[in-house]
Structure 1
Amino acid sequence: MTTMTQATAQAQPRPPKIPESVLVVIHTPALEVLLIERADRPGFWQSVTGSKDFLEEPPHETAAREVREETGILLGAPGVPVEALHDWDLRNVYEIYPVWRHRYAPGVTHNTEHVFGLTVPAGTPVQLAPREHLAHVWLPWREAADRCFSPSNAEAILQLPQRLGRMR
């Protein structure tokens, strides 16, 4: 009976993704930006992204959870205070790429993305979720923006110097 219950649970489809997500630009004080390569689309580089787990989940909590799940970086750990995560008060609404629409409820074509920045010390270790990402790299902010496949991600990275109050 237990085996049958486990098989039934595994056969259950995943609930549709909530079309509200976060984008977290992780960077050092010297504006080196962390990019991670998608496992489901090798060659597609991005910052940390992810959808809310439930409708009432505050974006700040979604951001902290996604950072932890995708990079192993824990807010509140030494060198990474909770206050290092900044809500940029920027919302992007974009069309979901057709290749990923099957993850959402039928008819959902757009997503609202909340943009955050996270400052971490240089040398912060990264431990990727292997089912989600293949590799990571730290790049100067302009190079990181050029490597991103997502236009909203590239634009967020290009805003980084202004967001931090300095031009480079």
Structure 2
Amino acid sequence: MKPLKIPESVLVIIHTPAREVLLIERADHPGFWQSVTGSRDSPDEPLVQTAAREVLEETGIAADAVDLRDWAVSNIYDIYPQWRHRYAPGVARNTEHVFSLCVPRGTTVTLSPLEHTSYQWLPWLEAADQCFSASNAEAILLLPQFMA
């Protein structure tokens, strides 16, 4: 049995200097496109470590803490009902911390097939429109501000 998820996660916007954003399609919900996301493994895991781990697990891109930019932006949202069973009973909200990672155009992406089936690089406005998650779309729309 998998351990219960901690309701504190990261969202990592992976992008190129030209504001092309990487989106990955969920294996368990075809048509659900998103940025890299994932929960802390333990309550004391540093968020930047969570972000680096999730980027590597989901995309195969190795990033150090210095490569990741912490936006100091948090979103609190209701966990989708279909995913609440992954958390302790009574947990219905998650706090998501936003990071970004700038990579060169043409960076190799190697998906974790259990989590994601395909990926695409899109201009930032198109990427925001493709996201199923409102907080993910809103974060992508903030990308130019955090690249300045």
Number of positions where the alignment pairs a residue of Structure 1 with one of Structure 2: 148
Give the ranges of 4+ consecutive aligned residues of structure 1 lying more than 3 Å apart after TM superposition.
Answer: none
The aligned residue for residue 25 of structure 2 is 37
The aligned residue for residue 93 of structure 1 is 76
Shift of 1:136: 0.3
Secondary structure of the structure 1 residue equivalent to 2:121: strand
Distance in 1, Cα, partners of 2:67 & 2:47:
15
Between Structure 1 and Structure 2, the one with more strand by share is: 2
The unaligned stretches of length 5 or more in structure 1 are 1-12, 77-81
The share of aligned pairs that are identical, in percent, is 68
The unaligned stretches of length 5 or more in structure 2 are none
Distance in 2, Cα, partners of 1:41 & 1:63:
22
Q: Is the 8 A contact 1:84 1:120 kept in 2?
A: no
CA deviation digits over 1:20-62, x for unaligned, max 9?
A: 0000000000000000000000000000000001110010000
Report the TM-score, using the length of structure 1 for normalisation.
0.87
Q: Given the alignment, which residue of 51, 59, 74 partners 2:47?
A: 59
Match status 1:72 vs 2:72? no
Q: Given the alignment, which residue of 137, 142, 148 partners 1:154?
A: 137
The aligned residue for residue 14 of structure 2 is 26
Secondary structure of the structure 2 residue equivalent to 1:129: coil
Match status 1:112 vs 2:100? no
Max radius of gyration: which structure? 1
Amino acid paired to 2:35: S
